[in-house]
Amino acid sequence: MEDIIPKFNYIVVVVLMMTGLWSMLAQGNLIKKCIGMAIFQTGIILFFISIGAKNDALIPILTEGANHTFDNPNIDKVTNPLTQILMLTAIVVGVATLGVGLALAQKVYQQHDSFDEDEILNNQTK
């Protein structure tokens, strides 16, 4: 327990990502695949955010405070901004991919009248 609690978030991240990965591979439904993809991505985002977190730290917006000035901030008490920037980019990339995936799924549906991969394959080989 003492070993697991400080790293609990990593375990959650891995489980989340693997559920997403499984869903992308195994689900037959195109929409479910897209949702699985989004969950995989949130798992990665959670991973990055948790490696940048600090104990008892403030948000990365500097304010004048007791042990805290603009010019000389207490670095250990401000959350890591770098991982946050990276993940802002990843979120936006994620929604862009999701949108394109859904558009393609709509087109596939128009042709085959189904979201199910097996049915689509059957239709195509016919």
Partner 1 sequence: MIKHLPIFIVLAPLLGAVFAALTSWYRPKLSFPVVLSGLFISFLSSFCLIFKLLNSESGIIHYQLGGWGDKGEYGIVGIQITVDYLNSLILTAVTIISLLTAIFSSQSVNRELAGQQRYFFALFSLLVTGLLGITITGDIFNLYVFMEIAALSSYALIAYGKGRSYMASFNYLIMGTMGACLYLLGVGFVFVKTGTLNIENLSLLIPQTLQASQAVFVGFVLIIVGAWAKMAFFPMHGWLPNAYTYAPTASGALLAPLATKVSVYAMIRIMITVYSIDYVLKSPNIQTAALLLSSISILVGSFFSLTQTNLRKIACYFIVSEIGYMVGGAWLANDPGLKGAVYHIIADAAMTSALFMVIGCILFRTGQVELKKLDGLFYKMPITFIALVITMAALIGVPPTCGFFSKFYLIQGAAQAGTWHFAGALLISSLIKAVILFRIIEIGYNKVPNPAKEGNKTIPRDEAPLSMLIPTLIVTLSLIALGIFTDTLITDFIAKALPEIPAP
Partner 2 sequence: MADLPIWHYDTLFLTLALLFGITALAMQNLMGAAIVFGAYSFLMCLIWTTMGAVDVAFTEAAVGAGVSTVFIFATIYNTGVSATPNSPRIAFKIFAGLIAFGTGAFLLSALPDFPDWGDPKSPVNSTIAPYYIANSITDAHVPNIVTTVLADYRGFDTLLETTVVFIACIAIYSILRIDNAKSKVTEPDIITSPPAYDPTDSLIIRQASRIMVPFMQLFALYVIAHGHYSPGGGFQGGVILGASIILLSISFDLKHVLQQWTEKKIMILTALGVLIYAMVGLACILMDGVYLDYAALDSVLPGDEAYARSHGILLVEIGVGITVMFSMIGIYINLASNGRFDRGL
Residues 79-118 that bind partner 1 (CB under 8 A): 83, 86, 89-90, 93, 96-97, 100-101, 104-105, 107-108, 111
Shortest distance in whole angstroms from residue 43 CB to partner 1: 8
Told to check if 39 binds partner 1 by CB under 8 A, we report no
| Nearest residue to 47 (alpha-carbon basis) of 15, 89, 95 | 15
Tell me the C-alpha distance between 71 and 54, whole Å: 21
Residue 57's binding partner among partner 2, partner 1, none (Cβ under 5 to 8 angstroms by kind) is partner 2
35: its two tokens: 């949702």
Tell me the C-alpha distance between 117 and 32, whole Å: 11
Q: Which stretch binds partner 1 (CB under 8 A): 1-9, 35-43, 53-61, 69-77?
A: 35-43
Residue 65's binding partner among partner 1, partner 2, none (Cβ under 5 to 8 angstroms by kind) is none
As a residue count, the chain comes to: 126
The residues facing 65 across adjacent strands are: 68
Residue 72 in 3-state DSSP?
Answer: coil
The DSSP code for 77 is: G
Applying CB under 8 A, the residues found at the interface with partner 1 are: 17, 21, 24, 30, 33, 37, 40-41, 44, 47-48, 51, 83, 86, 89-90, 93, 96-97, 100-101, 104-105, 107-108, 111, 120, 124
